[in-house]
């Protein structure tokens, strides 16, 4: 069973144009993500789906394939599907191209349930949530059933509670935006137009729930830090300094 990790990397980010090429300790953001992905044991291949030749050049330098995709594609999932369509791949990992601290262990934890359950269409990650994160519209929340499958995702605090909770409020987890897709489901997903709940929350995973997908939510203690704005670069560099070695890996 072929398992590929795909990094969607668009040059023209609204909040941070050229973000994949921004330097963190002298190394491009996309290169950090590639190096993290290459440490995963359960990926047969890592590739970058991009719309920019400079990003493709970094990918080639780092020893992975780059597939050129159209700038106008509406989402990372659509960019990934454009890159793998017609290829011999069974499970596709959407590894966000702006998560420089991603590890191979985190990626492997997402692949395992897809290998163990052939009927599972998707898997994703989540960790415990603080009260501040629960109330922040910038943190995506997920509520799961007794099988740890997603019931709903929202930018708003779910489930509603009449009681004020402290840290680790019950009922919701903070979603990490990394996904594993069954190839056949990714095709169905990308061939379906955005749906109302997806557009309302601006969360594409709600299209998958609308289509009836089972989305396994894997709990993790690892808290990933993404780069959304130029100011996040210094945050990542400070985190790296606290890690053993702290330099370019």
pLDDT band at 240; cut points 50, 70, 90? confident
Q: How many domains does the chain have?
A: 1
User: Which of 1-15, 112-126, 186-200, 223-237 has the weakest average pLDDT?
Assistant: 223-237
- The token pair at 90 is 């069974």
CATH of the domain at 219: 3.90.550.10
For residue 247, tell me if it sits in a domain: no
Q: What is the pLDDT of residue 168?
A: 59
169 pLDDT band (50/70/90 cuts)?
low
Q: In this structure, is residue 137 part of a structural domain?
A: no
pLDDT above 70 (res 165): no
Residue 249: pLDDT band (50, 70, 90) is very low
Average pLDDT over residues 81-90: 95
Residue 144 lies in a domain: no
pLDDT tens per residue, range 194-203: 999 999 999 9
- Tell whether the model's pLDDT for residue 246 goes beyond 50: no
- pTM of this structure: 0.90
130 domain-assigned:
no
pLDDT reading at 244 higher than 60: no
**Percent of the chain at pLDDT above 90?**
71
Question: What residues make up the domain containing 51?
Answer: 3-125+176-194+210-242
Could you tell me if residue 27 is inside a domain? Answer: yes
Regarding predicted confidence, which is higher, 92 or 10? 92
């Amino acid at each position: 069973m072929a398992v590929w990790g795909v990094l969607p990397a668009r040059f023209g980010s609204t909040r941070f144009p050229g973000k994949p090429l921004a330097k963190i300790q002298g190394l491009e953001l996309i290169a950090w993500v590639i190096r993290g992905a290459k440490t995963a044991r359960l990926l047969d291949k890592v590739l970058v789906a991009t719309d920019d030749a400079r990003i493709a050049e970094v990918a080639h330098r780092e020893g992975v394939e780059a597939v050129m995709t159209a700038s106008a594609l509406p989402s990372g999932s659509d960019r990934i599907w454009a890159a793998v369509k017609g290829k011999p791949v069974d499970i596709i990992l959407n590894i966000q191209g702006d998560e420089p601290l991603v590890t191979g262990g985190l990626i492997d934890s997402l692949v395992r349930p897809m290998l163990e359950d052939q009927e599972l269409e998707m898997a994703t990650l989540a960790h415990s949530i603080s009260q501040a994160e629960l109330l922040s519209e910038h943190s995506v929340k997920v509520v799961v059933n007794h099988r740890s499958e997603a019931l709903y995702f929202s930018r708003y605090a779910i489930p509603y509670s009449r009681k004020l909770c402290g840290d680790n409020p019950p009922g919701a987890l903070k979603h990490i935006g990394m996904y594993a897709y069954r190839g056949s489901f990714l095709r169905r997903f990308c061939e379906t137009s955005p749906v109302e709940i997806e557009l309302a929350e601006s969360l594409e995973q709600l299209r998958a729930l609308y289509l009836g997908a089972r989305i396994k939510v894997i709990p993790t203690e690892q808290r990933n830090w993404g780069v959304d704005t130029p100011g996040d670069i210094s945050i990542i560099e400070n985190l790296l300094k606290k890690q053993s070695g702290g330099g370019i890996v």
